[in-house]
Chain A
Amino acid sequence: MVSVAFDRLEIQGNILRGYRRNLVRHLVLEVRNRDAARRFLGVAAAGGSDDVPRITNEAPGRARPDAFFNIGLTFAGLRALGAPQDTLASFPTEFVEGMTRRALKLGDFGPGAPEHWPQPFDNPARVHIVASIYADFKASLDKAQAQVAPAFTIVGVLDGRSLPNQKVFFDYKDNISQPRFQGIDDPEQRRVDEPKDPLGTVLLGHPTRFEGLEFGVPVPRELGFNGSYNAFRVLRQDAAGFERYLTTAAERLLSHPDVGQLLPKGEEGWIGAGLDRVGALREIVAAQMCGRWRNGVPLALSPDSPLPEPGVSETNFDYPRGSTCPAGSHIRRANPRGGQIVQRIANRTRRLVRRGMSYGPDFDPKLPDDAERGLLGNFIGASLGAQFEAVMYDWINLGLQDPDITGSNDPLLGANEPETSWFDLRLRNGGHIRLRGFPRFVWARGGAYTFLPSLPAITYLSKLTG
């Protein structure tokens, strides 16, 4: 395996670590004037100016600017900037085809099908660049947007925000577990004991966890090296429907003969102060579907209560045989860690960096409404096909990794229909109760596959001619 000299200052700053800001604004840009766009990119990569925001790089102990600014380009965007034919031909098929043509692999059918996506994602040919601004104050977002506007046509603006306490809609604490990378010190991950992933998991041109296998680096190397790919997703979440289903499931469970193996009578208080039996069962269903209690405590370490004494780690666990985390739960499907899976070779090879912020109005479970809200998600890795699509197609949906769940979809994220959906709740005696009849809770409302170039690559793009 070749070890490659690596200068982290050359990497865009949103790949290896998150910014943890209050707000995000994703600008969907069309390149109308190739020269103006190239000039903009050149200045942005070289440190910015009064008129052009600076592209944030991966700097240890970096200064905190008012706004962090990063870009990703679609295949249409590379073409619009004038990338030559041999460059375009060196990108992988899934990126060339783009997210809409991979819809069935991602479960984007029915209500989530691209033909139902609203503007700007109804016209992928005009989605060239997704520029993301992260800041704590709206004024910083507006300022950066005003700087971008002269060089591009802004075809879409998507605003997101962090909900309090790291929560997302559905009220789970999110953004807990991320891959760690060899040679990268992330202070937030120092207490995590998951194995470190090789840099090639997320950056092109570096060794991957597949021994001897490398993901293609687009040519010229200046463009491809240290690049990464992002599946940018606008995911609508049906918060009201989810809460409603929890109640339905809990009420059905009440009379189930095995419910005592799920929640012995009298233990409702372990689940939450003041909860009645239905309320406690709702939380158990929510926890098992996710693999974590809504406060983030993993079922793998604390199956019976979200408030274990003593406390447990949120990140340091595995899935041995007989794990108390259901095989069909969301976090175990998305990352089976070291647990036994059908595709032995695939343990830890499909790791994804996930960065997400919520969009839409607040949700109050006591006054549920159907307003559009959800997640603006970035799913980042060195291969869309080997990581994002592989996870979505074989694991989140289908459940190929474990014969006990094959044929079912992820209860939270999967392409479910009430007629066919199922999920096995794990009982304390090792048995299960099969839940059925839940609808799809999350579906796509837009998105794009983007290439996240290194800073030298952005400079290269700015110097294209013709």
Chain B
Amino acid sequence: MAGESGFDTFVDDLPRKWWFKLLANWIVIPFWAWLRPTPPLPGGPRPTPQPSENVQRMMNLVMPLKDKSPLGRAYAAMAVAQNVNEIFAGLDNVGTVHFARFVVIGDNLCMISVYDGDFTNYIRDFIATVGSVFDAIMDLVEGGEAVKPCETKIDAFIDWIHAHDLFQAPDLPTDLFRLQDAARGVERKREPGLLRSLSREYILQLNANPNFSLGGGYRAYPGFSVAQVRQKLGVGW
């Protein structure tokens, strides 16, 4: 481009250079992470007053397997497969789960679900009905013993699940500033700070929350609960 020196071009190309990426990952980002401590943000959807935010909420539970081998994954598969009755009983009684899937991704057992209402009620009601399923799973995942049996350690268990539920990056990207301010316990004095620093804040946040969900998910018919859908379709609730 006219008027650009060779140095300009060099700088413009830097982000694509392998050695610059190395430098960024090993020095620049750790430096900033040290300078601007960024606590991991909590998982799951955030509480809000809007009904449509409180139905069809997304849980992306990622639980690292203790045994990261085909055998370990097989045990995880078995733990879930042996509890199908329990899972159905939980679904039907809790009444607020749209979809739930167990998947093994890498060395993680993941439970991915869409549910209505408050997260802690969802987990608590589920444990009250089918706690044994989660006890079986807790045996297989890192840190699981500490919250077992989940029926009698229900508060700790809910906190554990919350900590393993993926952070959901805000649907409106600039909302990240506010979430971080709250987590860092600061009030942004000069509002709102450099807008372009949003890129840095995202890098630091993804450094603190390596797994995350981009936004709260997309829905074809947002705003309706399990029971509303079932009622409307005439299949009972």
Which of A75-83, A208-216, A235-243 is found at the contact surface with chain B?
A: A208-216
State whether B154 touches A216 (Cβ < 8 A): yes
Q: What is the size, in residues, of chain A's interface with B at 8 Å between Cβ atoms?
A: 38
For residue B228, give the distance in angstroms from its CB to the closest CB of chain A.
4
For the side of the interface on B, what is the size category? 35 or more
Q: How many angstroms between the C-alpha atoms of A269 and B94 in the bound complex?
A: 45
- Contacts of A457 on B, CB cut-off 8 Å? none
The answer to whether A216 and B153 have CB atoms under 8 Å apart is yes
Majority-rule SS of A interface residues: loop
Q: List residues 130-155 of chain B with CB under 8 A from any CB of chain A.
A: 131, 151-155
Decide yes or no whether B117 CB sits under 8 A from chain A.
yes
Q: List which B69-100 residues lie within 8 A (CB) of chain A.
A: 92-96
Chain A residues numbered 371-407 whose CB sits less than 8 Å from any CB in chain B: 383, 385-386, 389-390, 393-394, 397-398, 400, 402-404, 406-407
Indicate if the CB atoms of B118 and A342 lie closer than 8 Å.
no
Task: For B159, give its contact among A93, A394, A398 (CB under 8 Å).
Answer: A93
Q: Cβ of A346: which chain B residues have Cβ within 8 Å of it?
A: 121, 125
| Segment of B60-68, B164-172, B219-227 engaged in the interface with chain A | B219-227
Question: Chain A residues with Cβ under 8 A from B151's Cβ?
Answer: 210, 212-214
**Known contacts A107-B49, A212-B131, A406-B227; A400/B116 CB under 8 A:** yes
B129 with A214: CB separation less than 8 A:
no
- Could you say which residues of chain A place their CB within 8 Å of the CB of B226? 342
Does chain A have a CB within 8 A of B54? Answer: yes
Complex partner residue of B228 from A105, A394, A406, CB under 8 angstroms: A406
Contacts of B48 in A (CB 8 A): 104
Q: Report yes or no: B237 in contact with A407, Cβ–Cβ below 8 A.
A: no
Check B127 for interface membership: any CB of A closer than 8 A: yes
Q: Which of A104, A383, A393 has the most CB of B within 10 A?
A: A393
Report the minimum CB–CB distance from B213 to chain A (whole Å).
20
- Using CB atoms and an 8 Å cutoff, list the residues of chain A in contact with chain B: 92-93, 102, 104-105, 107, 109, 210-216, 341-346, 349, 383, 385-386, 389-390, 393-394, 397-398, 400, 402-404, 406-408, 415
Query: B: which residues have CB within 8 A of A?
Result: 46-49, 51-52, 54-55, 92-96, 116-118, 120-121, 124-125, 127-129, 131, 151-156, 158-159, 223-228, 230-232, 237
